[in-house]
A and B are shown apart, each in its own frame.
Chain A
Amino acid sequence: MNFAGIRWRTGAIVSPGPGSWTLLLAIALLGSAALAASVGAVDVSLFDALRTAWHPELELSPVLRDVRLPRVAAGAAVGAALAVAGAVLQTALRNPLADAGLVGVTAGAGLAALLAILFFPALPALVPMLAFAGGLSAVSAVVALGFRHRGLRAGPLRLVLSGVAIQAVGFAGVALLSFLYADRAPSFAAFLVGSLNGLGWRDAALVTVPTVLGLGVSALAIRPLDVLLLDDATAGGLGVSVRRARLAAATLAAWLAAAAVSVAGLVGFVGLVVPNALRLLVGPGHRALLPASALGGAALVLLADTAARTVVAPIELPVGALLALLGGPYFLVILWRKLP
């Protein structure tokens, strides 16, 4: 029997192929988006909402239109961007523990956001833009340091170490500023833990547009990334300039991560957990891994955010903290299973 690509054989599930996993993840994403849109302080009937599409005289529920839908769009984009960024970086740096934090994106974005909050309090619209710019400039610094050495072995380790250094400097700046201006940066706490609270359509556009662009570019990177899975000598023999490919991949990942961080703050663990979990299901090939990561990351963030809004309602928990709370133990389980 064949259902959604899964072959059932006398009760035991035969492992489905990558294509069917992608289909299942797409269904999961649709489901979690519907859940995220309808559940909350005000329950909204999606059936009623769908009816407005055919009956222009009916009005879409304002809760749905102005609060839920932009939040769903932003959450899905954040999750997709972070997960794909993680998948790309893990391959490019040949390090399964790589995520956007490791190349300085989060520290750069955090520092820039804090500066914006502190010194341009009248212009909240500036925060995500400056955070985006800050994330990208931190990565540029990391990449410039990591690739300065023109020798042959300017490898992933150099990039990671430069990232750790830039990250330390960035977070030191964040700590100093929040210590000096403790009274003036209340909204900064939300940024540090990562949250989708109060995002509107403008924020949604701010993360969705660069995310879609970045995902489009990542489709171009599928085959070079596959080759980067092999070691440098083999990849070079296949006609890939390993240095250049690694640099391009790091930049792509930074772009995606900066987009996500700029509106949602430091949402951790999505970039780490989602690609690593999906690699076990669909394998390391990027033709399957990148779309699966995008779908899985989006679904995970939407589910986590829905939980964050409803578990101890009316208090809205920050989704970043919830994800870390779930992601940490999950990661330990994976590690324990895999280590001999």
Chain B
Amino acid sequence: MSGARLEATRLHLRHAQADRDAVRDVTLAVAPGEIVALVGPNGSGKSTLLAGLAREIAPRAGRVCFDGTPLERWPRRRLARRVARLPQDPAVPEGLTVAGLVANGRHPHVAPLAAFSTRDHAAVREALAAMELGDLRTRPLETLSGGERRRAWIAMVLAQEPELLLLDEPTAALDLRHQWEVLEFLARANRERGLTIVVSLHDLEQAAGLAHRLAILHRGRLYAAGAPERCLGEEMLRDVFAVDARVGKDDGRLTLRVRGPGDPLRSL
């Protein structure tokens, strides 16, 4: 599959006011066409790692390269044409319509004074169609339901036509149906457009169902990375998530049953 690799090498990340690193010594490569899910308990560094991969936080040590070039050496707009980023819960500007939001996705592609080309209009239309937002295009965002709004944001980054998409917990605070829809849309974009996806998820079953590989974070470090069947084990659940859980299989998908707290000593 065509596209470029995203590579983090011995990456250390620290927030502006913090006195210690939120991500420590993480080395992770994402191949073109791959879906990698970042999982881990609260505070394990998932969001921070995504921010680092999106150039939002500069590395304190180590580096992140896209297509062989460190992120900070990329001109911003050129990078934004290939890498899109959706934060966890973006603020909604009042009065902005769905179509208005999605049109912003074309920003890196359009010169400052130029009008939208037919290609730009087509990209916006396709993104709206892919997220099934055609009927809602003139509605202000604040009048939408949580699921519709999330779809509008995803449509915006789809209109950006990136080859790599970084998403922070796209299913958070959605009901089951909308969670399923978002995951289904992501899987389809990966299948049909070859979109590379790095996504942080809370639900391990969802992550295992969607991703080709899991990257499990524990206290800022990469605990394990690999195919879901390989690294979603009972020992990992005890070590990282501090639960005693059984991993099973149902209809070809991994399932999880938590039986109680893990041995607290093991998680130290």
Bound-complex Cα distance A239 to B111 (A) = 12
Task: Point out the residues of chain B lying under 8 angstroms from A152, CB to CB.
Answer: 16, 56-58
Is residue A284 contacting chain B, with contact meaning CB distance below 8 A? yes
Q: Is the CB of A230 within 8 A of B91?
A: yes
With most chain B CB atoms within 10 A of its CB, the pick from A152, A238, A280 is: A238
CA of A227 to CA of B105 in the docked complex: distance in angstroms? 9
Known contacts A152-B16, A280-B95, A285-B100; A239/B107 CB under 8 A: yes
Q: A239-B81, A283-B100, A284-B93 are in contact. Are A231 and B112 (CB under 8 A)?
A: no
In the bound complex, residues from chain A placing their C-beta under 8 Å from that of B264 are: none
Taken together as a complex, chains A and B put the C-alpha atoms of A239 and B112 apart, in Å, by: 12
From B82-90, B222-230, B249-257, give the one contacting chain A: B82-90
Judge whether B77 is part of the interface by a CB distance below 8 angstroms.
Answer: yes
Count of chain A residues with Cβ under 8 Å from any Cβ of B? 25
B182 at the interface (CB under 8 A from A): no
Indicate if A219 sits at the interface (CB-CB under 8 A): yes
Partner of A227, one of B54, B78, B79, B104: B104
A220 to B110 Cα, complex, angstroms: 12
A240 to chain B, nearest CB (A): 7
Assembly CA distance A242 to B56 (angstroms): 11
A339 interface residue (CB < 8 Å to B): no
Asked whether A279 is an interface residue with its Cβ less than 8 Å from the other chain, the reply is: yes
In the complex formed, the residue of A with least CB distance to B111 is A223
> In chain B between 104 and 140, which residues have their CB closer than 8 angstroms to a CB of chain A?
104-105, 107-108, 110, 112-113, 140
1/0 per residue, CB under 8 A from A, across B41-58: the answer is 000000000010011111
Chain B 213-227 interface mask (CB, 8 Å, partner A; 1/0): 000000000000000
Contacts of A314 in B (CB 8 A): none
Contact digits for A279-301, partner B, Cβ 8 Å, 1 yes 0 no: 11001110000000000000000
Q: A233-B90, A280-B95, A283-B95 are in contact. Are A240 and B107 (CB under 8 A)?
A: yes
Report whether B108 and A238 are in contact in the complex, using a CB–CB cutoff of 8 Å.
yes
Specify which chain A residues have a CB less than 8 angstroms from the CB of B51 in the assembled complex. Answer: 233
Contacts of A219 in B (CB 8 A): 113
| Residue from A219, A220, A234 with most neighbouring chain B CB atoms (10 Å) | A234
Most chain A beta-carbon neighbours within 10 Å: one of B54, B93, B97, B105:
B93
- For the complex, is B11 an interface residue (Cβ under 8 Å from A)? no
B100 & A223 in contact (Cβ 8 Å cutoff): no
Q: Is B246 an interface residue (CB 8 A)?
A: no
Instruction: Determine whether B19 belongs to the interface, using a CB cutoff of 8 Å to chain A.
Output: no
Render A207-242 as a binary contact track against B, CB cut-off 8 A, 1 for contact. 000000000000110011011011101101111110
**Bound CA span A234–B107, Å:** 12
Contact B90 A239 (CB under 8 A): no
CB-based contact A231/B108 at 8 Å: no
With a 10 A CB-CB cut-off, give which of B104, B108, B110 has the most chain A CB atoms: B104
> Which 3 pairs across A and B sit closest by C-beta, in order of nearness?
A239-B80, A237-B85, A239-B108
Residues on B close to A: CB < 8 A?
A: 16, 51, 54-58, 76-81, 83-87, 90-91, 93-97, 100-101, 103-105, 107-108, 110, 112-113, 140, 157, 160, 166
| A-B pairs with beta carbons under 8 Å apart, 14 shown | A223-B112, A229-B96, A230-B90, A231-B87, A231-B90, A233-B56, A237-B54, A237-B84, A237-B157, A238-B107, A238-B160, A239-B80, A239-B81, A283-B96
